Amino acid sequence: MNITIVDYNSGNISSVINSFNEVVKDKINIEVTSDLDKIKSSDKVVLPGQGSFKSCIDALNKITGLKDILNEFVITNKKPLLGICVGFQMFADVGYEEIETKGLGWISGKVSKINNHNGKFKLPHIGWNQINIVKESKIFQNIENNSHMYFVHSYEFIPKEKNVISATTNYSSNIVCSVEKENIFGTQFHPEKSDKIGLKIIDNFINL
């Protein structure tokens, strides 16, 4: 099996790479690349993302053909993809960080600033928070409900279809922190920074 972590110059992805390598222990080939042919021939893809929605979409669009290959991988070939943090937010139709920016449109919805109730809640939402698993998800196999995950974000993904939501976290409101739609998986939290439980989520994705 080949797993590709897409490197499209969107911040530091070393912790994602390290955590995947820790889980596979050299039994599976982990490729870190933006090479279109390698992504296309992968069995699974991981789409990380750090920074703003706009900066990540811009970085993705700078690599000619990358968006098309990802669309083909996910929508046409229905292969499993895991989006992390902004990588997960980019599934949306549109994001409103900096300026209105078109997303990948894989899961209908928008990315908006978290309502901090006039400063009552600090932004960004940083640190450990409990997740509430709201539907059975393949990546939450053997993960206890109310487990703690690590978050760093000021914007939230609000999907139109509520049936794609697999987990929420409570911070100023019920924030969507995980989705599953057929072969598409995404987490707002950072599994690679969420200790053993985060590694178990990565393991579950690898073993799909």
Residue 60 β-bridge partners = none
Which of the following is catalytic: 56, 85, 97, 125?
Answer: 85
Mark whether 153 is an active-site residue.
Answer: no
Cβ-in-10-Å burial (0-12, 13-18, 19+) of 97 comes to buried
At 198 the three-state DSSP class reads helix
Mark whether 85 is an active-site residue.
Answer: yes
- How many Å apart are CA 6 and CA 8, to the nearest integer? 6
- How many Å apart are CA 86 and CA 13, to the nearest integer? 12
Q: State the number of CA atoms in the 13 A half-sphere of 154 facing the CB.
A: 12
- Residue labelled with tokens 């969107």: 10
Mark whether 192 is an active-site residue.
Answer: yes
Q: What is the DSSP letter of 182?
A: T
Summary count for the chain: helices (H), strands (E): 6, 14
Which of the following is catalytic: 97, 156, 180, 192?
Answer: 192
Which of the following is catalytic: 56, 153, 180, 190?
Answer: 190
Residues annotated as catalytic (active site), given as ranges: 85, 190, 192
